[in-house]
Amino acid sequence: MKASSRVLVRAHAKINVSLHVGPVRPDGFHPLHTVFQSLALHDTLEVKVRRGPFTLTSSDPAVPADGRNLVARAAEALWTLLGRAGPPSGVAIHLAKQIPVQAGLGGGSSDAAAALVALARAWRTRLTLNDLMQPAARLGADVPYFLVGGTALGLGRGDDLYPLEDLAPQHVVLAFPGFGVSTADAYRWFDEDRERRAAAMETDVEPQIVPAWPGLELGVVNDLERPVARRHPDIGSIRCVLGGSGARASAMTGSGSAVFGLFGTREAARRGALAVGQAGHLALVTRTVDRRTCQRVHFLIASSSPRHA
């Protein structure tokens, strides 16, 4: 395999089309049943091969460029997997950010997965995607999904993955209420509210049903949305705006704070984004992408699509 002096990869964002959360387990984690979906919105990682220690820079000064960044941690994990001594070296990575942070879009996890793929090439390894699954899972529960992409079912912590037939193409409005939500807060509020709702005998939120695959309908619902929206009512307000502007369905994604709306045409999505903007919130229009599109970056290494992590 020839060495490459420059490797450029995309790190796609995701939404959770559905997210069901079980009661917290003794190990502190919540069992999940979620449907992931990749978006065209993406960060870009440029990896340059050069002499000297590993370096990481970012286009967003608010994004840490040290060991707190999952890209740096991915480099350390892969270096260790390769059995190489000392700290990582021989590459410089520049991260061009487009995916907002603390929005539930998986930007950090996607960056980490893209880094594993790019570094496997830059460091002249013969690792497959299956080989990268183990270090990916150690970096975070969402990271293995981004090695798969497209539409996929996630169980357990979300890292037990089952690729599904790709969701029919959708135009997507992403709306941002102007604040972030930490994953730890979202799950803590979920646990607090679960006890309160059980005492009050409140029922679960009914999912919105939209056509997903031929002969199959998909329920759009997020169990974390209610507890987060109780603390941040703007999330519910944004969903009302999206619904009023013609969204087929809408929900908060992941642990928030971004809210997505699904639209049948790009023009309808543009009108939805305009309505969100008029309500005082940031919004952008993107679209869903299939697994083949996501895995175009994986031509960099010999690979096969895993059935599960």
Residues taking part in catalysis: 14, 142
Phi and psi torsions of 58, nearest 5°: -140, 150
Rounded to the nearest 10 degrees, what angle do helices 129-139 and 70-81 cross at? 130
Instruction: Give Cα separations from 13 to 39, 88, 233 (angstroms).
Output: 5, 27, 24
Distance CA 205, CA 248 (A): 17
Q: Residue 195: which residues within 8 A CB-CB, separation 6 or more?
A: none
Query: Taking the CB of residue 153, how many other CB atoms lie within 10 A of it?
Result: 17
Q: Report residue 305 CA to chain centroid gap.
A: 18
Q: Report residue 15 CA to chain centroid gap.
A: 6
Distance CA 193, CA 227 (A): 6
- H or E segment at 286? strand 282-287
209: left (phi over 0), alpha (psi -120 to 50) or beta: beta
Query: Taking the CB of residue 42, how many other CB atoms lie within 10 A of it?
Result: 23
